[in-house]
Amino acid sequence: MKIRRALLFIIILVGVCALLPAQKKKTAKDLPPQYQKWLVEEVAYIITAKERDVFLQLESDRERNIFIEAFWKQRNPDPNSTENAFKIEHYKRITYANQWLGKNSPTPGWRTDRGRIYIILGQPKEIQAFENLYDLRPVITWFYDGMADYGLPGSFYLVFWKKDIVDDYRLYSPINDGPQQLMQHYAGDMADATTAYEALMKIEPAVGSVSLSLIPGETQFSAAPSLASEILIKQSIPEAPHYKIKDEYAEKLLKYKNIIEVDYTANYIDNEALISVFQDSSGLSFVHYLIEPKRLSFEQTTTGYRTTLEINGRVTDRQNNSIYQFDRTIPLDLTEAQMAQIKSKFFSLQDLFPLTPGQYKVNLLLKNRLSREFTSVEADILVPDPAVFSMSPPVLAYKTDRESRFKGQNKSFLLGGVQFVPSPRNAFAADDGLSLYFQLHGLPAELRTGGSVQYTIQRQTETMKLPETVKVVTRSLREIADPGNIFEQFPLAGMTPSHYTLNVAVLDASKAEKLKTKVDFDIRGATSLNRAWVLSLPQPASTDPSFANIVGSQLLAKKDLAKARPLLESAYTRDPGSPKYALDYVLALLEAKDYRAVIEVAKPFLADERRYDFLQPAGAARQELGAYAEAIAHYKDYLSHFGTNIGILNSIGDCYVKLGSAAEALAAWERSLQLEPNQPALREKVKALKDKK
């Protein structure tokens, strides 16, 4: 019940917020001075657009401090080190720029062109200054190499020049400035870069050689100003600080800042994930998912290694109504030998949960209690109606097990009796086999007898205008024993390492496409790939009452009482001693206004400490049946345990009115108004009761 009350509060709050006027978008000027300085000056050249946008949306200094901590963590070259070498170097560069590159200038060093480049790229490998030549304007060249990891050329020059002696040095552009601008007394055609280049080479070859192109060796192919150099200074260098940064963490921090504990907030880690929906033989649909976080931290103990994971799931409909929530705690204890086997592998958490047909948004939050790190996955999914002709998205696996010991149970990616081991990257080694699985729902009779499934594998490369078809396989649907569970295997031997697309189409008797889908995969050159170690815990068979309870509760959340009630009744009947099954069934009975049945089901639980979650629905049922004294007793017992509740206070007042106890009714209602004055209907009732007295 605590969860239900919290969800109700969230729904009310969202509704209230929707009525508020749209707020003006913040700018850096709206920030407190220290955060304005941090954003505009200290990290101006290294923060991504997404990070900046999120930072401006934060509401408090606490949130901004958490963001700044997360910002530097994302850039720490050694996440396990308490000293952040990147941050230390960054502030050293700012200090140097302010001390030396703004010298004798009214502009702070960090704002000059040289200061900007120095902060982004650091110390050049070589600096040459040409400041006292009669025919040459003041020029300084900086040479860099070894920065290909940041999307930059293997080596390149940057040129800074002054038009007048009193100016600051500014970054030179071969296209926008040209060699003609670097010469003090040049009288030639200012539009003729080639002639100007030849003149500059006579004055100073070291400057002339970089005046058309900043990239060594490029001018041997062209005597025109270099477009590649323009891209270098206008795009590649400004983007270099972002080249290795995955700024998704910023959006996650903003999204979860009010949901997860404070000490997790700055510790978002990236992941790869896969979510698929499949129906089992009982007719239930399950969401199968896997999450592979970028890293998994353990604590070393005297006997091995341990940590505890928490997975929190939430499913909402198109209107953002909560349909299903779940929590799972997973303790992990590994021996030294186990850790030695897996320490270089990915970690893949895999699980599943049932979900009734519909369109939803799924949100999965994975937390590591030890490291206080978290990651999350959000996806829009469709759980199809089994009667509607449709095809599930295919899942690819690099390994299968037809003899799984978990047959008959529910387990992630245990499909049609075959255990599939997929990877979110869909990467395969050259000697792997590729296994494909998908489902057809609501297959028409004419396709069942005369249709077929066609698989087309196409290779794609950057140099190809059209993909190359490398394999076509067609299967008659009559030959497939179970079209609801289609399983195919494709050997990859002999296929060139590349990027591929597997197209799947359902054809009718005339070979016309009725349904189609596709999935991409890669073949790598290696004979074996680094595969994940998988944690996948089995769940009971679909006949277990827990699944009827879960799906029934989802249907009740969707206001489909007619379908929800029999499922919740089934779970309760099979295990009447379960407080959860009984409570969920009671809520359906209350919705159905079957108040006597509510009392009957709740009665065994009202006699002991399990009663608290049943007090509110039992009180509501007693009130509707006219047993006002008993209803008041339930409501007061509820308040003594859970504390003040406006709705319960109002109901107590209503019951006292029915019993003719006006003073007690007024006491309850006035207490409610103290807690929430904005209750006009209740104020009218209080006024009417006072007037009557």
Instruction: Locate the domains of the chain by residue range.
Output: 2-74+245-250, 124-241, 269-536
**pLDDT of res. 3:** 38
For 582, the token pair is: 């009984």
Mean pLDDT computed over 529-545: 95
**pLDDT of res. 430:** 85
**pLDDT of res. 462:** 72
**Spatial separation of the C-alpha atoms in residues 660 and 672, rounded to whole Å:** 19
Residue 683, pLDDT > 50, answer: yes
Handedness of CA 674, 676, 678, 680 (dihedral sign): negative
Residue 654, pLDDT > 70, answer: yes
**pLDDT of res. 528:** 82
Residue 5, pLDDT > 60, answer: no
**Spatial separation of the C-alpha atoms in residues 627 and 571, rounded to whole Å:** 29
Within 8 A by CB and 6+ apart from 302, the residues are: none
Provide the pairing of β-strand 347-354 with 533-536.
parallel
pLDDT tens-digit map of 118-175: 999 999 999 999 998 999 999 999 999 999 999 999 999 999 999 998 899 999 999 9
pLDDT tens-digit map of 585-636: 999 999 999 999 999 999 999 999 999 999 999 999 999 999 999 999 999 9
**Spatial separation of the C-alpha atoms in residues 384 and 277, rounded to whole Å:** 9
Within 8 A by CB and 6+ apart from 580, the residues are: 549
Within 8 A by CB and 6+ apart from 443, the residues are: 389, 451, 477, 483, 484
**pLDDT of res. 16:** 37
Mean pLDDT computed over 523-547: 92
Residue 89, pLDDT > 60, answer: yes
Per-residue DSSP letter, 224: S
For 459, the token pair is: 């290779």
**367 CB burial (10 A radius; 0-12, 13-18, 19+):** buried
The position carrying tokens 């070291």 is 206
pLDDT tens-digit map of 276-314: 999 999 999 999 999 999 999 999 999 999 999 999 999
C-beta separation of 389 from 441 below 8 A: yes
**pLDDT of res. 7:** 37
User: Within 441-522, where are the H helices?
Assistant: 445-450
C-beta separation of 317 from 401 below 8 A: no
**pLDDT of res. 646:** 96
**pLDDT of res. 551:** 98
Residue 222, pLDDT > 90, answer: no
Cα→Cα distances 113→242, 348, 431, 643, 667, Å: 19, 46, 53, 63, 72
Least confident of 242-256, 441-455, 525-539: 525-539
Per-residue DSSP letter, 183: B
Query: What kind and span of H or E run contains 3?
Result: helix 2-19
**pLDDT of res. 520:** 97
Strand partners, 491: 433
CB-based burial, 156-189: b 16+ in 10 Å, e otherwise: bbbbbbbeeeeebbebbbbeebbbbbbbeebeee
Question: What pTM did the predictor assign?
Answer: 0.87
**pLDDT of res. 11:** 36
What CATH topology corresponds to 269-536?
Immunoglobulin-like (2.60.40)
**pLDDT of res. 221:** 54
Nearest 5 degrees, angle CA 261-CA 273-CA 75? 60
**pLDDT of res. 23:** 57
Residue 334, pLDDT > 60, answer: yes
pLDDT tens-digit map of 480-501: 999 999 999 999 988 999 999 9
| 2 residue type, one letter | K
pLDDT band at 220 (very low <50, low <70, confident <90, very high): low
**Spatial separation of the C-alpha atoms in residues 67 and 87, rounded to whole Å:** 15
pLDDT tens-digit map of 624-647: 999 999 999 999 999 999 999 999
**Spatial separation of the C-alpha atoms in residues 74 and 79, rounded to whole Å:** 8
Within 8 A by CB and 6+ apart from 511, the residues are: 452
Residue 265, pLDDT > 80, answer: yes
Average model confidence (pLDDT) across the chain: 93
Residue 463, pLDDT > 90, answer: no
Considering only residues 31 and 79, tell me which one the structure prediction assigns the higher pLDDT: 31
Mean pLDDT computed over 39-57: 98
**pLDDT of res. 568:** 98
